[in-house]
Amino acid sequence: MASKTRQQNVTAAQWAGTGDGSGQSDITESAAAIYGENVFNIAAQKARLQKTVFTKLQKTLADGAPLDPALADAIADAMRSWAMEHGATHFTHWFQPLTNMTAEKHDSFFEPVGDGTALAAFSGKELIQGEPDASSFPTGGIRATFEARGYTAWDPTSPAFILENPNGSVLCIPTAFVSWTGEALDHKTPLLRSMDSLSSVALRALKLFGDKVAARVFTTVGPEQEYFLIDEQYFYERPDLYTTGRTLFGAKPPKGHELDEHYFGTIPERVLACMLETERELQRLGVPVKTRHNEVAPSQYELAPIFENSNVGSDHQQLTMQVLENVARRYGLVCLMHEKPFAGVNGSGKHNNWSMGTDSGQNLLEPGDTPAENIQFLFFCVAVIAAVDRHQELLRASVANVGQDHRLGANEAPPAIISIFLGRELERAFNAVASGKATDSAAGNFLGLGTPVLPPLPLHGGDRNRTSPFAFTGNKFEFRALGSSMSLGFVNTALNTIVAESIDMMVDEVEAAKKKGKKRPDAILDTIKKTWKAHKRIVFDGDGYADAWQKEAAARGLANLRTTPDALPWIVAKSTVQVFEQYNVLNERELEARFEVAVEQYSTKLNIEAETAASMARTMILPAAVRYLAECKEAGMTSLASELKSSADEFVKRLRVLEKANASHPAAEGLKEAEYMRDKVIPAMDKTRETADKLEGLVADDLWPLPKYSEMLFIK
């Protein structure tokens, strides 16, 4: 009685897409232009709003001022009629609770009017504020469940869009989600606050450099998203995949990525069809998707958009993950966004390209053409360096989650130590400023700037270092330590906040020196010099995976927070609370809430993994081993039987240890429980897995109940 035969692989390989990604209309023709067609964007607003309303709305957005409630009714009505023409019957306030996912509660446009019929209506009030019964969103104790009220508030700076569904479409209105006391319960609220703070501080700095045109500074984000696509048949045959998103068992395949044939390789047709449709959907949603390629691991891919302001970029990133997952199913595929779906195979991350730019179009992290511009660049650049050094632990905490513990610090993703890669030229430039002397090697090329002279700055690109968690890449910093499943919200909130503080401190210093009679250019250079000297320990251009770096980093006093429970307390550390409160981003209570939610998610997710592992071990893997053992005995294969039996015995023993660990959580919740999960439960799971993977190599293939790594990763 074979429970599993390899014949199913043929079915998996013969995909019959119900999607329509290939053979679509040519989007290079203007008649087929689809970009933004499902977005209530500026063009749609212009076409549908009265001119005065449109102008006032645009002005409100440009100034970042609150919206005149008198406009809301007109805007809501225009939005509704636009949405209904696009097939929407419902609307929802679309928000981002602390789960890293998005939430939506749909309301119909139609309301009965008393004569047995219904009329479509959507008021300004409904547009501006919602009151979902939000008692079951994680709030880290901010709002006790009996006080279930949470408000959603329209974010007019992120355009509304339509999510299509086979049976009807929904108008989605991006909103912030706050408690009745005004505390943030989501990722958007603090991100917006941090963007505001950074803007005012950066404008203050720009004044030092004589900038008279910039009225606002935006932070920008361009995320690169890694993901796996596997056949859905395998996914649904594995309880670990569909309950936890990763394989809890599975021996390493004979073929891994040793051949290096996958990275940038030809994209299989089914996958390409799926990607094309994903991208088309995203384009219709106004997400500027740009790049696609194969990633390092088999069946791993990457997608990257063109950067946008942090708020819209973060919303779009959530949409991207959602669309990737939805469209994959139309091709008989499942998109895995877990940080480590397959042990022993490269995991998936997200690269957060980050910069600051003015509304007048200047990228503050772009080296300029003139020495003066370059000084301004060095000023902002060293502010980022100092911020990352000062708050390295917070940045580490901002990317901590249960999936990340398989990557950070292991030999693939960036190490758990936060450091910055600048590239040789830029590092040399800072050292030249600091010493006041030109370095010999580049003497001929120096741009004169009175004292000191500056070596040429890297013009686009510069050299690269793939192992660095935080790398300068020509005109932006790339924070590479994010996990593939993460929301961009908290990471960018943290970055904006700590950089705001850093810029502010530097401007204070320059102002103080000026008061003491220093000339402005000298005061600026002095500050750059001092800041560089104080924080250059965070700069490292060597191999981040090498053991030597662990030692070197320790000697430099850099933090090495290996696991999530090590890192999370930094969310509520004094230095974090201080900077978040000073820049009005999150208060202590709001930070505590985030800490509690993160800790709880860690323990809960691990508990689900551990219980799933125990149940699969007992009810799937062990029976397979026992059956095969009986067969061996029956066939008189004594030595084979005893080999198998000793592994099976070991398996039972380890499985019991795991079951016991699952049953004996400490009474205390919070960090104590998280540490228990890390120190007792994970090792028990690992041990159980180790023996299971050994058994996989011993038990007859037709008895093995789980699809194997080679099948999941190589049948496309």
Rounded to 10 deg, the angle between the 371-390 and 188-208 helix axes is 140
Of 43 and 306, the one with the shorter C-beta distance to ligand ADP is: 306
> What b/e string do you get for 332-353 counting C-beta neighbours within 10 Å, with b at 16 or more?
bbbbbbbbbbbbebbbbbbbbb
Nearest distance from residue 178's CB to ligand ADP, in Å?
Answer: 28
Query: Among the candidate windows 3-11, 103-111, 345-353, 545-553, which touches Mg ion by CB under 5 A?
Result: 345-353
CA dihedral sign of residues 335, 340, 345, 349: positive
Nearest distance from residue 367's CB to ligand ADP, in Å?
Answer: 13
User: Which helix H or strand E contains 88, and what residues bound it?
Assistant: strand 88-94
Q: Indicate which of Mg ion, ligand ADP, none lies near residue 222 (CB less than 5 to 8 Å, by partner kind).
A: ligand ADP
DSSP structural state of residue 266 = P
For the chain, give me the number of helices (H) and strands (E)?
24, 17
Q: How far apart are CA 332 and CA 274, in angstroms?
A: 10
Q: How far apart are CA 172 and CA 38, in angstroms?
A: 10
Of 354 and 704, the one with the shorter C-beta distance to ligand ADP is: 354
**476 binding Mg ion? (CB under 5 A):** no
Q: Which residue number has the CB closest to Mg ion?
A: 351
CA dihedral sign of residues 383, 384, 385, 386: positive
Q: How far apart are CA 175 and CA 157, in angstroms?
A: 10
Nearest distance from residue 433's CB to ligand ADP, in Å?
Answer: 23
Of 45 and 220, the one with the shorter C-beta distance to ligand ADP is: 220
Nearest distance from residue 623's CB to Mg ion, in Å?
Answer: 45
Nearest distance from residue 343's CB to Mg ion, in Å?
Answer: 24
Q: Indicate which of Mg ion, ligand ADP, none lies near residue 291 (CB less than 5 to 8 Å, by partner kind).
A: ligand ADP
Helices within 306-411 (DSSP H only): 310-330, 371-390, 392-398
Of 305 and 469, the one with the shorter C-beta distance to ligand ADP is: 305
Helices within 14-153 (DSSP H only): 42-48, 51-63, 69-85, 124-128
* 3-class DSSP assignment, residue 210: coil
Q: Indicate which of Mg ion, ligand ADP, none lies near residue 473 (CB less than 5 to 8 Å, by partner kind).
A: ligand ADP
Of 363 and 607, the one with the shorter C-beta distance to ligand ADP is: 363
Q: Indicate which of Mg ion, ligand ADP, none lies near residue 231 (CB less than 5 to 8 Å, by partner kind).
A: none
Q: Indicate which of Mg ion, ligand ADP, none lies near residue 221 (CB less than 5 to 8 Å, by partner kind).
A: ligand ADP
Nearest distance from residue 466's CB to Mg ion, in Å?
Answer: 9
Q: Indicate which of Mg ion, ligand ADP, none lies near residue 591 (CB less than 5 to 8 Å, by partner kind).
A: none
Of 189 and 353, the one with the shorter C-beta distance to ligand ADP is: 353
Nearest distance from residue 308's CB to ligand ADP, in Å?
Answer: 8
635-694 residues near Mg ion, rule: CB under 5 A = none
Q: How far apart are CA 469 and CA 480, in angstroms?
A: 5
Q: How far apart are CA 465 and CA 542, in angstroms?
A: 8
Pattern 302-341, binding to Mg ion, x per CB under 5 A? ----------------------------------------
Of 318 and 355, the one with the shorter C-beta distance to ligand ADP is: 355
Q: Indicate which of Mg ion, ligand ADP, none lies near residue 339 (CB less than 5 to 8 Å, by partner kind).
A: none
Of 222 and 707, the one with the shorter C-beta distance to ligand ADP is: 222
- Output 104-108 pairs: Cβ under 8 A, ≥24 positions apart: 104/170, 104/172, 105/130, 105/132, 106/170
Nearest distance from residue 480's CB to Mg ion, in Å?
Answer: 7
* 3-class DSSP assignment, residue 83: helix
Of 389 and 478, the one with the shorter C-beta distance to ligand ADP is: 478
Give the contacts of 80 (CB within 8 A, at least 6 positions apart).
91, 109, 120, 121, 122, 171
Query: Among the candidate windows 216-224, 376-384, 541-549, 562-570, which touches Mg ion by CB under 5 A?
Result: 216-224
Neighbouring CB atoms inside 10 A of 570's CB total 22
Task: Give strand pairing partners of 528.
Answer: none
Nearest distance from residue 384's CB to Mg ion, in Å?
Answer: 17
Q: Indicate which of Mg ion, ligand ADP, none lies near residue 307 (CB less than 5 to 8 Å, by partner kind).
A: ligand ADP
* 3-class DSSP assignment, residue 230: strand
Of 110 and 264, the one with the shorter C-beta distance to ligand ADP is: 264
Q: Indicate which of ligand ADP, Mg ion, none lies near residue 688 (CB less than 5 to 8 Å, by partner kind).
A: none
Of 304 and 561, the one with the shorter C-beta distance to Mg ion is: 304
**351 binding Mg ion? (CB under 5 A):** yes
Question: Given the rule CB under 6 A, which residues bind ligand ADP?
Answer: 220-222, 224, 291, 304-307, 351, 353-355, 363, 473, 475-476, 478
Q: Identity (one letter) of the amino acid at 235?
A: F
Of 60 and 465, the one with the shorter C-beta distance to Mg ion is: 465
**280 binding Mg ion? (CB under 5 A):** no
66-95 residues near Mg ion, rule: CB under 5 A = none
Of 96 and 355, the one with the shorter C-beta distance to ligand ADP is: 355
Of 341 and 414, the one with the shorter C-beta distance to Mg ion is: 414
DSSP structural state of residue 138 = -
Nearest to 658 by CA among 701, 706, 622, 710: 622
Determine contact, residues 247/230, Cβ cutoff 8 Å. Answer: no
Q: Which residue number has the CB closest to ligand ADP?
A: 222
Nearest distance from residue 706's CB to Mg ion, in Å?
Answer: 34
DSSP structural state of residue 189 = H
CA distance between the termini of the chain:
28
Give the contacts of 310 (CB within 8 A, at least 6 positions apart).
191, 195, 218, 219, 220, 221, 354, 488, 492, 496
Pattern 220-239, binding to Mg ion, x per CB under 5 A? ----x---------------
Query: Among the candidate windows 311-319, 348-356, 385-393, 400-408, which touches Mg ion by CB under 5 A?
Result: 348-356
Nearest distance from residue 352's CB to ligand ADP, in Å?
Answer: 8
Determine contact, residues 511/504, Cβ cutoff 8 Å. Answer: no
* 3-class DSSP assignment, residue 608: helix
Nearest distance from residue 404's CB to Mg ion, in Å?
Answer: 18
Binding site for Mg ion (CB under 5 A): 224, 351
